[in-house]
Amino acid sequence: MTGIKIIATGAQAPKKIVTNDDLAKIVETSDEWISQRTGMSERHHVEGEENHTWLAEMAAKQAIERAGIPKEKIGVVLVCTVSADYFSPSCACIIQGRLGLSNDIIAMDIGAGCSGFIFGLETIRALMMARNAQYGLIVGAEVLSKKMDMTDRSTCVLFGDGAAAAVVELAENSYTSVIGVSGDEEMINIKSPDGFIHMDGQGTYKFAVATVPKVIEQVVEKAGLTYDDIDHFVLHQANLRIIESIAKKVKQPMDKFVVNIEKYGNTSAASVGLALDEAIADGRIRKNDKVLMCAFGAGKTWGAVVMEM
């Protein structure tokens, strides 16, 4: 078996919703300025007893319940994140314990920024094949509200908190991936565990609109498909303008692109999973649909996968 299939998803967002108008009370900005430039209207921030681990646990629990499989059969747990509650132990190890998963398991976190969910899918596939594990659990979870300088309007309006999870199964279905890195430490970074997000907005935009269309073309060609074969595009929700520019470059209608950035903002490694879960839950993505997921992020990372649902 060389492919994986997503059999169920789950998601969890904090209860607190932060609107553009709320941010306008903190920094010099406005609802019009943010929405026109990013497509964002609101995002979620943790408060009270909510934290990163809780978000990841709730999303993972929901995905497992929806999958309807014995949790003891999960052989790999990956949490994709740059904002875990602990430097050590990993969030994945905590999830294993809280959900009562098997002890005979690989559990670890991986950090690939906003490309995390795509890197996670490729990594969990390899680990499942190596261990002959039938099922795996991947979680993308971020609490970026703890990583923002709330006096910096160039970043504090962009990011939100949330988690999404998927139970995956080894399968002989269609699965194709393209992964890449062009190592960079300045475009987007968090320079210490207690540091804030720094992002070169213009540099990130240029990188995304130049790189993602090429990556999409590569993965579609590698899969032996055409754009018409792809039912849905689920891209990292960084900026609506970026998604619209990519749609134009690959000459595909926007109604094939899943967009929920207006509700969540940029949730980094949780972004693709949150969009995927929403589109499955509302019936847009159905069984046997071909879905192309693609993301880009810190370190100048990028990745895309084509999967049959």
Residues annotated catalytic, as ranges:
114, 236, 266
What are the distances in angstroms from CA 295 to CA 102, 177, 194, 212, 269?
31, 12, 25, 8, 9
Spatial contact of 160 and 264, defined as CB atoms under 8 Å apart:
yes
**Conformation bin of residue 114: beta by default, left when phi > 0, alpha when psi is -120 to 50:** alpha
Strands 74-80 and 106-110 come out as parallel
Given the structure tokens 């990956």, which residue do they identify? 78
Measured in residues, the chain has a length of 309
Q: Which amino acid is at 101?
A: L
Cβ-in-10-Å burial (0-12, 13-18, 19+) of 228 comes to exposed
